[in-house]
Amino acid sequence: MLTLLEALQHADATGTAVGHFNISELIAMKAVFEAAREKNLPVVVGVSEGERQFMGVLQVAAFVKSLREEFNFPIFLNADHTHSLAKAIEAAKAGFDWVVFDLSTLPFEENVRQTRQAVEALKAIRPSILVEGEIGDIGSGSEIHDAAPASSGQLTTPDEAKQFVEETKVDTLAPAVGNRHGMTRNMVEGEDRKHLNIRRIREIKEATKIFLTLHGASGTDDRDLRDAIAAGITVVHINTELRVAWRRGLEATLASHPNEVVPYKLLPSVVESVKRVIASRLALFGAGREHSQTRSAN
Ligand code: G3H
Ligand code: ZN
């Protein structure tokens, strides 16, 4: 079966991206798996420290493994935004395929030093595990924000990206290229979209030649996403859009079945609600270079 590394290599070579979707429970897990299976595309399930604490580290690993083995399907598991070596090691030992080691709030040199140590420690546990490093400020919280959070707006530079990759030996890099975690209320209502710096993505890709991950992709303009993938993004993380669909789906099913108490009768429509978002994002990520009109400026 396809490995995670092969899935990334294939996406990189074809100008497509692999979808990474965060989950907190089994409704979203089912939605990710069913959407990916219907499109026959490899997919990554992400669980942050909070998400995996809620699900159970070993339990979420066992669930993804069981789907992969029973259906012989390339579904992978990422320990998203892991802020300590202890939690990264816990995930690696539980069988996670990937760890996002996120010390992006530390000074650059300290981030480099500790990320390099984490790469060594995690590869010693399982050489095939992938490790992602993160530099720059892309905010935190896959939530609905009242307004765009104040930020330095500083983008990752190609030079610092190159230095970070060379010194840490990470497999994938998450840069700050105009992306931010979460959505504003206007984005949820479809009145505003996030925009990315495509030129900077291209420059970082050329400088590092590494797989680049776009975090905080919820609410991003479709054309920007296509151009970002054509410019060198290989993995796209979506969380808040799924959480919004989950909540809306849940509210709708509870409202339309006021007396129903059977979960397996109420919840399939919530799975469908989350699945629709995933399916449309997967269609966009898998569209390939020919669908992008890459802009020279931006
Ligand atoms: O790691 C998770 C993602 O970066 C999600 O960001 O909530 O803006 O989609 P998002
Ligand atoms: Zn993220």
What digits encode the pLDDT tens for the residues 72-130? 999 999 999 999 999 999 999 999 999 999 999 999 999 999 999 999 999 999 999 99
Q: CB of 237 closer than 6 A to ligand 1?
A: yes
Locate the ligand 1 atom nearest the alpha carbon of residue 218 and give its number. 9
82, 88 in Cβ contact below 8 A?
Answer: yes
Residue among 20, 22, 285 to mutate when testing ligand 1 (max atoms within 8 A of CB): 22
Phi then psi for residue 73, to 5 deg, are -125, 140
Residue among 214, 215, 281 to mutate when testing ligand 1 (max atoms within 8 A of CB): 215
| Comparison of pLDDT for 148 and 136, the residue scoring more | 136
Q: Which-ligand-closest: CA of 78? A: 1
How many angstroms from the chain centroid is the CA of residue 16? 15
Looking at residue 151, what is its pLDDT? Answer: 62
21 bridge partner residues = 45, 238
Locate the ligand 1 atom nearest the alpha carbon of residue 243 and give its number. 7
Looking at residue 298, what is its pLDDT? Answer: 42
Q: CB of 217 closer than 6 A to ligand 1?
A: yes
Residues with CB under 5 A from ligand 2 (ion): 215, 237
Rounded to 5°, angle at Cα 238 from 236 and 244: 165
Looking at residue 295, what is its pLDDT? Answer: 43
Q: Alpha-carbon distance 36 to 44, whole Å? A: 9
Query: Which ranges in the chain belong to alpha helices (H)?
Result: 4-14, 26-39, 49-55, 57-71, 85-94, 108-125, 158-168, 185-188, 198-208, 222-231, 240-256, 263-266, 268-285
Q: CB of 179 closer than 6 A to ligand 1?
A: no
Q: Confidence band (pLDDT; 50, 70, 90) for 15?
A: very high
Selection from 200, 206, 146 nearest residue 175 by Cα: 200
| Residue 241 Cα to ligand 1 middle (Å) | 9
Question: Can you give the pTM of this predicted structure?
Answer: 0.96
Q: CB of 194 closer than 6 A to ligand 1?
A: no
- Centre a 10 Å sphere on the Cβ of residue 197 and count the other Cβ atoms it contains: 20
Q: Is the pLDDT of residue 294 over 90?
A: no
Q: CB of 238 closer than 6 A to ligand 1?
A: yes
In this structure, which amino acid lies at residue 208?
A: T
Q: CB of 292 closer than 6 A to ligand 1?
A: no
Rounded to 5°, angle at Cα 40 from 271 and 76: 75
| Rounded mean pLDDT, 244-265 | 98
